[in-house]
A and B are shown apart, each in its own frame.
Chain A
């Protein structure tokens, strides 16, 4: 496992890439940014994912899928900032944390309701709700939490 300072720097690099582009980097990019060999970058990439739960790679690959509150693969939670919809939230709960990644900006989350497929939406800025539609919107956890296995809660 990399040292804490290196993990912090790698975390910052990955999170910054999500904020800027809506997608996580490939480990070769991490290696280049850190000036290390490709394999060292790949191992550092894995170390960050292991250290930051619940983030995960696509099974049997080195491709980053989930890095909360972001998700590289499309989910139903579409995030729009400055008129650009290029982000996805990992889940509905993490969608409410998106506001902290875009300080001073209005963050809009649009999603279909899994029951009726009608849209729901909210807007936040610096942690405050600006709009919630419909006002009856609720969150729901469908399975009891199992510590260390937080991925199960997304089902």
Chain B
């Protein structure tokens, strides 16, 4: 789960998994939207672990659906 200066840098990366060369890409703005969902916004709340953390799986699916990435690669099988 890394950041690169651009798509061509991902393609040149020595440790690239070829199967993830295209499917593994995600724009920075999309990342910020995903990691800006409520379960991240409330990390400082007193009841975070019981109230917000359980939302993460549902949020991941929602985010991936919005981004067109609701695939086994991003969601797990």
Contacts and interface: CB of A to CB of B under 8 A. Distances in A.
B40 A97 contact: yes
Contacts of B49: 4, 7-8, 11, 48, 51-52
Contact of B36 (A77, A97, A141): A97
Contacts of A11: 48-49
A11 B10 CA distance: 35
A11 B76 CA distance: 27
Interface in A1-39: 4-5, 7-9, 11-12, 15-16, 19
A76 B2 CA distance: 9
A136 B5 contact: yes
Interface string A121-134: 01010010100101
Interface residues of A, number: 53
Given A139-B2, A139-B27, A143-B17, A101 B43 contact: yes
B76 A138 contact: no
A130 to B, nearest CB: 12
B6 to A, nearest CB: 4
Interface in A80-129: 91-97, 99-101, 103, 111, 113-116, 118, 120, 122, 124, 127, 129
Contacts of B24: 140-142
Contact of A115 (B5, B19, B75): B5
Contact of A100 (B9, B36, B50, B53): B36
A115 B4 contact: yes
Given A8-B50, A116-B9, A127-B32, A141 B74 contact: yes
Interface of B: 1-7, 9-10, 12-17, 19-20, 24-32, 34-36, 40-44, 46-50, 53, 72-76
Interface of A: 4-5, 7-9, 11-12, 15-16, 19, 48, 51-52, 69, 77, 91-97, 99-101, 103, 111, 113-116, 118, 120, 122, 124, 127, 129, 132, 134, 136-147, 153-154
